[in-house]
Chains A and B, each alone.
Chain A
Amino acid sequence: GAVVSQHPSRVICKSGTSVKIECRSLDFQATTMFWYRQFPKQSLMLMATSNEGSKATYEQGVEKDKFLINHASLTLSTLTVTSAHPEDSSFYICSAREVVAVTETQYFGPGTRLLVL
């Protein structure tokens, strides 16, 4: 299957600072990428849909000013957690949508573990 990378894999930051997470589709172009948050032993919670060249679509309850998403190219989306607080500590996963003919598949990055002190 297609490959999606995510960087960094792990980050520790101080409360009040901002953290940027990158998501890249390595061998395909993705007009749409997704950002999820996963709490321990729980399912994935969709935060937002990232659209290349346009504004992201946020799910209900997700603060767009806190979780800034930029999808500047067909292979890169970034999530910036602004003014991070300890409650933002979590596992963040991105995915990229690959479309081949009429077949559509989401491929996932390996995730980023964020710890805010």
Chain B
Amino acid sequence: AQTVTQSQPEMSVQEAETVTLSCTYDTSESNYYLFWYKQPPSRQMILVIRQEAYKQQNATENRFSVNFQKAAKSFSLKISDSQLGDTAMYFCAFKAGTASKLTFGTGTRLQVTL
């Protein structure tokens, strides 16, 4: 079974600064996908970024980028130029290539302050 660990329950960052959220996972699968989802106070889950394990290049989506370290089974999310609208719960998720369901971490609550 796969596990996803987010060791930072809460984090805070000032507006315009950069913050990195940590995620580690454990799996014996060779083909898998990793995701970061954001859940703002509205509770709508929003896909932030995805990474295919077979791709060596780190995924980037505007201000969001990941640091994917396959050997270390680490998948951190970097948010640059943080904005107040980035305040949310962030969930790291894993999907085995052969499976359809996601395994979620426990989440990191990010607060962006003025």
Q: B26-39 interface mask toward A, CB cutoff 8 Å, 1 = contact, 0 = none? A: 00000001000100
The SS class assigned to the A binding surface is: strand
The SS class assigned to the B binding surface is: loop
- Residues on the A chain within 8 Å of B33, using CB: 104
Which A residues between 83 and 101 are near B, CB-CB below 8 angstroms? Answer: 91, 93, 95, 97
- B106 in contact with A46 (CB, 8 Å): no
List residues of chain B with CB under 8 Å of any chain A CB: 33, 37, 42-47, 50, 91, 95, 100-102, 104-107
Q: Can you show 29 pairs from A to B with CB atoms below 8 A apart?
A: A1-B47, A34-B101, A34-B102, A38-B43, A42-B106, A42-B107, A43-B91, A43-B105, A43-B106, A43-B107, A44-B104, A46-B101, A49-B100, A49-B101, A93-B43, A93-B45, A97-B100, A104-B33, A104-B100, A105-B47, A105-B50, A106-B102, A107-B47, A108-B37, A108-B46, A110-B43, A110-B44, A111-B43, A111-B44
Going nearest first, the 3 A-B pairs with the smallest beta carbon separation are: A108-B45, A43-B104, A110-B44
